[in-house]
Protein backbone atom coordinates (compact mmCIF):
# COMPACT_ATOMS: atom_id res chain seq x y z
CA UNK A 1 0.00 0.00 0.00
CA UNK A 2 1.59 3.28 -1.11
CA UNK A 3 0.33 5.78 1.43
CA UNK A 4 2.92 8.43 2.34
CA UNK A 5 4.60 10.94 0.01
CA UNK A 6 8.05 10.28 1.51
CA UNK A 7 7.70 6.48 1.53
CA UNK A 8 7.42 4.41 -1.67
CA UNK A 9 6.72 0.74 -2.15
CA UNK A 10 9.70 -1.17 -3.55
CA UNK A 11 8.96 -2.72 -6.93
CA UNK A 12 10.78 -6.08 -6.84
CA UNK A 13 10.20 -6.75 -10.53
CA UNK A 14 12.40 -3.84 -11.59
CA UNK A 15 14.99 -3.89 -8.77
CA UNK A 16 18.57 -3.84 -10.13
CA UNK A 17 22.00 -3.66 -8.50
CA UNK A 18 22.34 -0.14 -9.91
CA UNK A 19 19.42 0.94 -7.68
CA UNK A 20 21.03 -0.37 -4.51
CA UNK A 21 23.56 0.94 -2.00
CA UNK A 22 26.18 -1.04 -0.13
CA UNK A 23 26.79 -0.40 3.59
CA UNK A 24 29.87 1.63 2.67
CA UNK A 25 27.86 3.76 0.23
CA UNK A 26 25.18 4.29 2.89
CA UNK A 27 27.84 5.67 5.21
CA UNK A 28 29.09 7.86 2.38
CA UNK A 29 25.56 9.24 1.88
CA UNK A 30 25.46 10.08 5.59
CA UNK A 31 28.87 11.74 5.43
CA UNK A 32 28.00 13.72 2.29
CA UNK A 33 24.72 14.97 3.77
CA UNK A 34 26.33 15.97 7.05
CA UNK A 35 29.70 17.31 5.91
CA UNK A 36 29.05 18.62 2.39
CA UNK A 37 25.42 19.72 2.68
CA UNK A 38 25.63 20.74 6.33
CA UNK A 39 22.47 18.95 7.47
CA UNK A 40 22.83 17.69 11.03
CA UNK A 41 22.87 13.98 11.70
CA UNK A 42 20.05 14.42 14.23
CA UNK A 43 17.88 15.98 11.52
CA UNK A 44 18.57 13.01 9.21
CA UNK A 45 17.62 10.68 12.05
CA UNK A 46 14.46 12.66 12.74
CA UNK A 47 13.48 12.54 9.06
CA UNK A 48 14.11 8.79 8.91
CA UNK A 49 12.03 8.25 12.06
CA UNK A 50 9.24 10.49 10.84
CA UNK A 51 8.96 8.50 7.59
CA UNK A 52 8.47 5.32 9.63
CA UNK A 53 5.87 6.96 11.91
CA UNK A 54 3.98 8.45 8.96
CA UNK A 55 3.87 5.01 7.41
CA UNK A 56 2.59 3.35 10.62
CA UNK A 57 -0.09 5.96 11.24
CA UNK A 58 -1.30 6.03 7.65
CA UNK A 59 -1.24 2.24 7.33
CA UNK A 60 -3.16 2.04 10.57
CA UNK A 61 -5.69 4.59 9.31
CA UNK A 62 -6.13 2.76 5.99
CA UNK A 63 -6.30 -0.77 7.42
CA UNK A 64 -8.26 -0.28 10.65
CA UNK A 65 -9.71 3.23 10.50
CA UNK A 66 -7.25 4.59 13.04
CA UNK A 67 -8.04 2.09 15.79
CA UNK A 68 -5.05 2.47 18.12
CA UNK A 69 -5.63 -0.15 20.82
CA UNK A 70 -2.35 -1.87 20.08
CA UNK A 71 1.09 -1.65 21.64
CA UNK A 72 4.23 -0.73 19.69
CA UNK A 73 7.29 -2.35 21.30
CA UNK A 74 10.48 -0.79 20.02
CA UNK A 75 13.78 -2.60 20.54
CA UNK A 76 16.70 -0.21 20.19
CA UNK A 77 20.35 -1.08 19.66
CA UNK A 78 23.25 1.12 20.63
CA UNK A 79 24.07 2.58 17.19
CA UNK A 80 22.15 4.97 14.95
CA UNK A 81 19.61 2.31 14.02
CA UNK A 82 18.73 2.32 17.72
CA UNK A 83 18.72 6.13 17.60
CA UNK A 84 16.07 5.94 14.88
CA UNK A 85 14.13 3.65 17.23
CA UNK A 86 14.18 6.13 20.13
CA UNK A 87 13.02 8.91 17.79
CA UNK A 88 10.25 6.65 16.42
CA UNK A 89 9.17 5.93 20.01
CA UNK A 90 8.93 9.66 20.77
CA UNK A 91 7.03 10.51 17.59
CA UNK A 92 4.51 7.67 18.03
CA UNK A 93 4.11 8.53 21.72
CA UNK A 94 3.45 12.16 20.75
CA UNK A 95 0.76 10.92 18.35
CA UNK A 96 -0.96 9.03 21.18
CA UNK A 97 0.22 5.46 20.52
CA UNK A 98 0.97 3.04 23.36
CA UNK A 99 4.74 2.62 23.13
CA UNK A 100 7.29 0.57 25.07
CA UNK A 101 11.04 0.97 24.67
CA UNK A 102 13.56 -1.85 25.21
CA UNK A 103 17.27 -0.99 24.88
CA UNK A 104 19.98 -3.58 24.23
CA UNK A 105 22.77 -1.62 25.97
CA UNK A 106 23.24 0.86 28.83
CA UNK A 107 23.00 4.48 27.67
CA UNK A 108 26.71 5.14 28.21
CA UNK A 109 27.42 2.73 25.32
CA UNK A 110 25.10 4.42 22.79
CA UNK A 111 26.26 6.40 19.75
CA UNK A 112 25.96 10.19 20.33
CA UNK A 113 22.72 10.55 18.34
CA UNK A 114 21.16 7.47 19.92
CA UNK A 115 22.09 8.90 23.34
CA UNK A 116 20.46 12.25 22.50
CA UNK A 117 17.20 10.61 21.41
CA UNK A 118 17.26 8.18 24.33
CA UNK A 119 17.72 11.07 26.78
CA UNK A 120 14.76 12.87 25.23
CA UNK A 121 12.60 9.75 25.52
CA UNK A 122 13.58 9.45 29.20
CA UNK A 123 12.77 13.11 29.89
CA UNK A 124 9.34 12.73 28.30
CA UNK A 125 8.59 9.71 30.48
CA UNK A 126 8.01 7.30 27.59
CA UNK A 127 7.58 3.77 29.04
CA UNK A 128 10.99 2.08 29.09
CA UNK A 129 11.10 -1.54 30.14
CA UNK A 130 13.90 -3.83 31.25
CA UNK A 131 15.43 -5.82 28.39
CA UNK A 132 14.92 -9.06 30.37
CA UNK A 133 11.15 -8.48 30.13
CA UNK A 134 11.16 -8.49 26.32
CA UNK A 135 10.86 -12.27 25.90
CA UNK A 136 7.68 -12.39 28.00
CA UNK A 137 6.28 -9.24 26.36
CA UNK A 138 6.88 -10.65 22.88
CA UNK A 139 5.41 -14.05 23.82
CA UNK A 140 2.21 -12.50 25.18
CA UNK A 141 1.87 -9.85 22.45
CA UNK A 142 -1.22 -9.80 20.25
CA UNK A 143 -1.38 -10.04 16.47
CA UNK A 144 -2.45 -6.39 16.22
CA UNK A 145 0.63 -5.18 18.17
CA UNK A 146 3.86 -4.13 16.47
CA UNK A 147 7.45 -4.96 17.31
CA UNK A 148 9.79 -2.38 15.80
CA UNK A 149 13.24 -3.83 15.14
CA UNK A 150 15.73 -0.97 15.60
CA UNK A 151 18.59 -3.15 16.87
CA UNK A 152 20.96 -3.11 13.90
CA UNK A 153 20.91 -1.51 10.45
CA UNK A 154 23.65 -0.87 7.95
CA UNK A 155 26.32 -1.08 10.68
CA UNK A 156 25.93 -4.82 11.16
CA UNK A 157 29.14 -6.60 10.43
CA UNK A 158 28.89 -10.09 11.87
CA UNK A 159 26.37 -12.85 12.64
CA UNK A 160 24.19 -12.51 15.72
CA UNK A 161 25.05 -14.12 19.01
CA UNK A 162 24.22 -13.90 22.72
CA UNK A 163 21.51 -11.51 23.88
CA UNK A 164 20.85 -10.10 20.40
CA UNK A 165 20.30 -13.61 19.02
CA UNK A 166 17.83 -14.31 21.85
CA UNK A 167 15.97 -11.06 21.14
CA UNK A 168 15.64 -11.91 17.48
CA UNK A 169 14.36 -15.40 18.32
CA UNK A 170 11.80 -13.80 20.66
CA UNK A 171 10.71 -11.38 17.94
CA UNK A 172 10.32 -14.12 15.35
CA UNK A 173 8.32 -16.33 17.72
CA UNK A 174 5.90 -13.53 18.61
CA UNK A 175 2.35 -13.28 17.23
CA UNK A 176 3.00 -9.55 16.86
CA UNK A 177 3.57 -7.79 13.54
CA UNK A 178 7.24 -6.94 12.93
CA UNK A 179 8.55 -3.78 11.30
CA UNK A 180 12.28 -3.52 10.53
CA UNK A 181 13.93 -0.10 10.55
CA UNK A 182 16.26 0.21 7.52
CA UNK A 183 17.10 -3.54 7.57
CA UNK A 184 16.02 -6.54 9.62
CA UNK A 185 18.56 -7.34 12.34
CA UNK A 186 20.69 -10.22 11.05
CA UNK A 187 20.35 -9.02 7.44
CA UNK A 188 23.55 -7.65 5.97
CA UNK A 189 23.22 -4.58 3.76
CA UNK A 190 25.77 -6.14 1.41
CA UNK A 191 25.14 -9.87 1.67
CA UNK A 192 21.49 -10.24 2.65
CA UNK A 193 20.42 -12.74 5.28
CA UNK A 194 23.57 -13.59 7.19
CA UNK A 195 25.00 -17.02 7.73
CA UNK A 196 24.18 -18.32 11.20
CA UNK A 197 27.64 -19.03 12.50
CA UNK A 198 30.17 -17.54 10.11
CA UNK A 199 31.51 -14.13 9.29
CA UNK A 200 30.03 -12.49 6.22
CA UNK A 201 32.69 -13.32 3.70
CA UNK A 202 30.53 -14.32 0.77
CA UNK A 203 27.85 -12.10 -0.67
CA UNK A 204 24.40 -13.65 -0.93
CA UNK A 205 24.95 -16.36 1.60
CA UNK A 206 21.69 -17.84 2.85
CA UNK A 207 21.26 -17.77 6.48
CA UNK A 208 20.55 -18.56 9.84
CA UNK A 209 19.29 -16.04 12.29
CA UNK A 210 17.59 -12.91 11.05
CA UNK A 211 14.45 -10.98 11.97
CA UNK A 212 11.59 -12.06 9.71
CA UNK A 213 9.90 -8.73 9.17
CA UNK A 214 6.37 -8.22 7.92
CA UNK A 215 7.40 -4.76 6.79
CA UNK A 216 10.82 -3.20 6.19
CA UNK A 217 11.24 0.54 5.72
CA UNK A 218 14.69 1.16 4.31
CA UNK A 219 16.26 4.62 3.94
CA UNK A 220 17.33 6.48 0.79
CA UNK A 221 17.60 3.48 -1.60
CA UNK A 222 17.29 -0.32 -1.44
CA UNK A 223 20.42 -2.14 -0.19
CA UNK A 224 22.54 -4.57 -2.20
CA UNK A 225 21.68 -7.55 0.04
CA UNK A 226 18.04 -7.17 -1.01
CA UNK A 227 18.96 -8.74 -4.36
CA UNK A 228 19.55 -12.04 -2.57
CA UNK A 229 16.95 -14.54 -3.87
CA UNK A 230 15.94 -15.39 -0.28
CA UNK A 231 15.77 -11.78 0.87
CA UNK A 232 12.03 -11.16 0.64
CA UNK A 233 11.34 -13.89 3.17
CA UNK A 234 13.10 -11.69 5.76
CA UNK A 235 12.18 -8.22 4.52
CA UNK A 236 8.44 -8.68 4.03
CA UNK A 237 6.66 -5.83 2.29
CA UNK A 238 9.44 -3.34 1.61
CA UNK A 239 9.33 0.44 1.38
CA UNK A 240 12.00 3.02 0.59
CA UNK A 241 11.83 6.18 2.68
CA UNK A 242 13.30 9.60 2.12
CA UNK A 243 15.55 11.19 4.75
CA UNK A 244 14.56 14.63 3.51
CA UNK A 245 17.09 15.08 0.71
CA UNK A 246 16.72 14.45 -3.05
CA UNK A 247 17.57 10.83 -3.81
CA UNK A 248 19.17 11.81 -7.13
CA UNK A 249 21.64 14.12 -5.40
CA UNK A 250 22.54 11.49 -2.81
CA UNK A 251 23.01 8.84 -5.50
CA UNK A 252 25.31 11.14 -7.44
CA UNK A 253 27.31 11.73 -4.27
CA UNK A 254 28.15 8.05 -4.10
CA UNK A 255 28.61 7.80 -7.88
CA UNK A 256 25.46 5.81 -8.59
CA UNK A 257 23.30 6.55 -11.60
Known binding-site residue numbers for (6S)-NADPHX:
80-84, 153-159, 182
Partner touching 44 among ligand LP7C6HRI, K ion, none, CB below 5 to 8 Å by kind = ligand LP7C6HRI
List phi, psi (to 5°) of 41.
-65, -30
Span from 9-17, 65-73, 133-141, 183-191 in contact with K ion (CB under 5 A): 183-191
Q: Is 213 in the site for ligand LP7C6HRI (CB under 6 A)?
A: no
H or E element at residue 100:
strand 98-103
> How would you classify the pairing of strands 187-188 and 192-193?
antiparallel
What is the bridge-based pairing of β-strands 177-181 and 215-219? parallel
Give least dist CB 210 to ligand LP7C6HRI, A.
11
Q: What DSSP letter does each residue of 148-191 carry, written as one string? A: EEES-STT--S---HHHHHHHHHHHHSSSEEEEESS-TTEETTT
The yes or no reply on residue 207 touching ligand LP7C6HRI (CB under 6 A) is no
For 17, 34, 54, 182, the CA distances from 48, given in Å and listed in that order, are 23, 14, 10, 9
Counting every residue, how long is the chain? 257
149 makes contact, choosing from K ion, ligand LP7C6HRI, none, with CB < 5 to 8 Å by partner type, with K ion
- Under DSSP, is residue 1 helix (H, G, I), strand (E, B) or coil? coil
DSSP state of 99: E
Rounded to whole angstroms, the Cα distance separating 157 from 95 reads 34
User: x/- string (CB under 6 A) for ligand LP7C6HRI, residues 157-196?
Assistant: xx-x---x----------------xx--------------
For residues 9 to 48, the per-residue mask of contacts with ligand LP7C6HRI, x marking binding by CB under 6 A and - elsewhere, is -----------------x--xx-------------xx--x
Chain residues that interact with ligand LP7C6HRI, rule: CB under 6 A: 26, 29-30, 44-45, 48, 77-84, 111, 152-158, 160, 164, 181-182, 219-220, 243
Amino acid sequence: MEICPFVRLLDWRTLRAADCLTARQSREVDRFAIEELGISSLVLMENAARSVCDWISQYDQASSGGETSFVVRIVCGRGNNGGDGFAIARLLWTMGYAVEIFATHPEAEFSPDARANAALARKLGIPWRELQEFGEAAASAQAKDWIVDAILGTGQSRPLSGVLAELVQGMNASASRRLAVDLPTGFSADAGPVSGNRLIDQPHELAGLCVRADVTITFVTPKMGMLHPGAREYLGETFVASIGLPEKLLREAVSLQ
